[in-house]
């Protein structure tokens, strides 16, 4: 881990933890850290966008068990009747390629599955963290985005199956907390990068890295002036776990890196770090693409004592080296 694990996480009692979306980018890194800290982890994934390769290192680990199931359809009986102390609901296609290809599944896993898992948490008296998204802010009119901002979302646009189902996820989670006293946490995840992102999932960092490492043209959408705030995966996972183990705060909290970078600047940076000869070309902007995305992390600092620590260039070097080996 490049991001230091806080003592408050190192010395937690061993728990039985359910992680949905365990074979995804964030889910697999989360499982790694939970197992490393001595927890017994049940991971579940449908593999519509997750990859078994992401869990190879845990295949025979005595503290990890993998269940293949599509939570958009139902909770498997052994999960529905199981006992858990913590539930991380990370399942959902999370890139435009994934959620546009699997629109109905995205809607179901963020709505039906969320409710079923909240019911499970209520029965087990488990604490549950649901992974929401900065996409709840849409194409924001407030910058940077605070958790109190209600967002500017197209409810029927090409991202709506993701944006609106995540907004439902948050509403359902608050309803179960307020009416049924379920111990809930909500994280709004901003753009995160690092090893294990699928190279073909449409997200900007793996796309630029693949193009640069193969010396293909690097495709910048629009004029490249749109910004994103990129958080290295180790920092993001540390934030998720600190939120899960925090006490007494149930409203959404942003976890992301407030350092903005334009997409054109990012393309130049990745090309330089990769030692690439790629040219940079421009393509049309996709529908409803946010012009700027940047978290206000005041709450995360105050409530969790969290902020990102991995510099972008360091995180990008590590990520580029990972994919250089993969492509070789």
| Dihedral angle of Cα 89, 91, 95, 96, to the nearest 10 degrees | -110
CA–CA distance, 140 with 290 (Å, rounded to integer): 7
Q: Please name the residues in contact with 7: beta carbons below 8 A apart, sequence gap of 6 or more.
A: none
CB atoms within 10 A of CB 141: 11
What does each C-alpha distance from 298 to 145, 239, 240, 251, 307 come to in angstroms?
11, 13, 16, 14, 9
Let me know: does 199 contact 187? Beta carbons within 8 Å. no
β-partners of residue 131 are 187
| Element of type H or E holding 129 | strand 127-133
CA–CA distance, 195 with 325 (Å, rounded to integer): 11
Q: Would you call 162 a catalytic residue per the annotation?
A: yes
Residue 283 DSSP label = E
| Residue tagged 């190192």 (tokens) | 10
Q: Which among 88, 162, 193, 323 is annotated as catalytic?
A: 162
Let me know: does 198 contact 322? Beta carbons within 8 Å. no
Catalytic site residues?
A: 162
């Amino acid at each position: 881990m490049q991001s230091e694990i806080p003592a408050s996480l190192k010395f937690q009692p061993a728990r039985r933890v359910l992680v949905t979306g365990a074979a995804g980018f964030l889910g697999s890194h989360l499982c790694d850290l939970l197992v490393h800290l001595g927890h017994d982890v049940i991971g579940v994934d449908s593999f519509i966008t997750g990859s078994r390769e992401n869990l190879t290192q845990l295949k025979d680990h005595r503290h990890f068990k993998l269940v293949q199931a599509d939570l958009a359809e139902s909770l498997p009986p052994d999960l529905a009747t199981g006992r858990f102390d913590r539930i991380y609901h990370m399942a959902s296609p999370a890139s435009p390629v994934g959620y546009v290809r699997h629109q109905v599944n995205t809607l179901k896993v963020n709505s039906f599955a969320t409710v079923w898992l909240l019911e499970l948490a209520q029965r087990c008296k488990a604490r549950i963290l649901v992974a929401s998204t900065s996409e709840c802010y849409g194409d924001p009119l407030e910058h940077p985005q605070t958790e109190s901002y209600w967002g500017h979302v197209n409810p029927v646009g090409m991202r709506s199956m993701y944006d609106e189902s995540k907004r439902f996820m948050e509403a359902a989670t608050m309803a179960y907390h307020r009416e049924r006293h379920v111990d809930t946490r909500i994280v709004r995840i901003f753009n995160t990068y690092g090893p294990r992102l699928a190279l073909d999932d449409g997200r900007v960092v793996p796309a630029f890295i693949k193009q640069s490492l193969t010396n293909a043209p690097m495709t910048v959408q629009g004029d490249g002036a749109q910004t994103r705030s990129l958080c290295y995966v180790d920092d993001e996972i540390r934030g998720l776990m600190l939120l899960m183990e925090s006490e007494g705060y149930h409203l959404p909290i942003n976890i992301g890196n407030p350092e903005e970078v334009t997409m054109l600047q990012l393309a130049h940076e990745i090309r330089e770090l990769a030692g690439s000869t790629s040219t940079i070309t421009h393509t049309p902007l996709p529908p409803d693409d946010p012009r700027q995305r940047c978290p206000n992390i005041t709450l995360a600092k105050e409530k969790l004592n969290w902020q990102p620590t991995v510099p972008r260039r360091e995180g990008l070097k590590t990520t580029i080296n990972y994919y250089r080996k993969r492509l070789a």
